[in-house]
Structure 1
Amino acid sequence: MIFIELINSEHIHGPDHVDDHLDKAEWLYEALKAWGFEIRDIAPWVGPLRELRIVLRAAVAELMEFGQLNEANISQLNSFLGPITYRYRVDLDAEGKTALRGTFEDQSPTHVIALGFCRYLENEDMKRLKLCENTRCREAFIDPTRNKSKKWCASNACGNLTKVRAFRARKAVQVKNEKS
């Protein structure tokens, strides 16, 4: 899903090290192309995509904590959704039957990504959309588990790191208490 790819275009490696793919022209050009956009001048899209990424990450965090979006999230999403023109036209399909087709005009990457996010929220289980609980990661993912209990984007990486950190913190407290 494109909105997950956008959220995950920022890799948080720690409090002082963030790798932002939107700063890499080649990555952004290839991502836009993969998402269906042939945009030669990508520079004007860096700022709006970065803003949308912030809005999407905040919306997912809000969904995780409260189970729904707040008015600020909704207002911010709406600012990326419109206005846009939708054109209808009549065509003949492969069997010669009349078919009504519609296409978006003036479509921008931010509009398409925001629309995809909103359609996901409308049609899917919002509780499956999560951010990794590893505070040094925070990647977005869809939880495929039956009971929606997945906490990390990858259990063998982030889950293991989080468990090791918790274990070491408990051990440090235990050693400190033994010395007292």
Structure 2
Amino acid sequence: MPQPFDPPNAGMAPVFLADHPVLDFLNTVAVVEGRPVDFLQSDEDVLRWLKQAGFTEEGAPKLTGAMLLAAARKLREAVRGLVAKRKVGSRADASVFNAFLAKTGSYPQLVWEGRKPPRVERVREQKSPEQMLARLADSAADLLTNGDFDLIRECEDDSCVLWFYDRTKSHRRRWCSMAACGNRNKVKAFRQRQLA
């Protein structure tokens, strides 16, 4: 049974700290003050997140009834399950994710303008919520197949659920953010050493 999520407090917004947009998408669910918070509460929240992440397409339709929100949450949880299974080296059922990809409605098109050499562009229809999320779903498929899962990690803070891609030079990143979880754990370790 899914855990209930609190809506975010006014002024709170999802963070972009994972060094990969798909992991940032998973991080739209976070633990804030000990409670799970879902930053996606409406179609507008999803559209705002897609724009911030660079996944918006021209010609997006107006949707009603939180259809985009439902599709985004479904995609997010399908990808979360696949990332978690891939991280531990387990086999996973990709049927929900593949069904989502099947609805994205894109195709390659040859573009040849003037004297420029021809190129292939992907045409993406924007008639359904799944089609509006197609670029994000493609990025998730790429992460799952080509990502270095030795460098894809969950924050080591026991109360944090955020993911990140460790792109540091030493590949020793442990926290979603040094300013938040890293600092809190360093202070905690310092206090424990002082007590000892």
Note closer, same or farther for the CA distance 1:57–1:71 as it changes in structure 2 (3 Å cut). Answer: closer
Q: Partners of 1:48 and 1:110 in 2: how far apart?
A: 8
- C-alpha distance in 2, partners of 1:60/1:20? 19
* CA displacement 1:92-128 (0-9 Å, x = unmatched): 2342545454423356234332221111233332322
Partner SS for 2:68: helix
Pair 1:148 & 2:171 matched: yes
SS at match of 2:76: helix
TM-score for both structures, normalised by structure 1: 0.72
Deviation at 1:135, TM superposition (A): 3.1
Rg bigger for which structure? 1
Matches for 1:11-50 after TM superposition, within 5 Å:
11-15=30-34, 17-24=35-42, 26-34=44-52, 35-37=55-57, 38-41=60-63, 43-50=66-73
Deviation at 1:44, TM superposition (A): 0.7
Report the count of equivalent residues: 169
Q: Cα deviation per residue 1:65-94 (whole Å; 9 max; x = unaligned)?
A: x2x35222x233223211444444444234
Unmatched 5+ stretches in structure 1: 175-180
Q: Tell me if the contact between 1:33 and 1:39 (Cα under 8 Å) persists in the aligned partners.
A: no
- Give runs of aligned pairs for residues 92-131 of structure 1, distance below 5 A: 92-105=112-125, 108-131=131-154
Aligned partner letter, 1:136: S
Contact 2:109-2:120 within 8 A present in 1 as well: yes
Q: Is this contact kept in 2: 1:22–1:28, CA < 8 A?
A: yes
Superposed displacement of residue 138, structure 1: 1.7
User: Whole-Å Cα distance in 1 between the matches of residues 32 and 97 of structure 2?
Assistant: 27
Please report how far the alpha carbon of residue 161 of structure 1 lies from its aligned counterpart in structure 2 after TM superposition.
1.8
Deviates more, 1:37-46 or 1:132-141: 37-46
Secondary structure of 2:124's counterpart equals strand
Rounded Cα–Cα distance in structure 2 between residues aligned with 1:170 and 1:76 = 48
Distance 1:94 1:130 in 2: 47
Task: State how far apart, in whole Å, the 1-side matches of 2:180 and 2:47 are.
Answer: 29
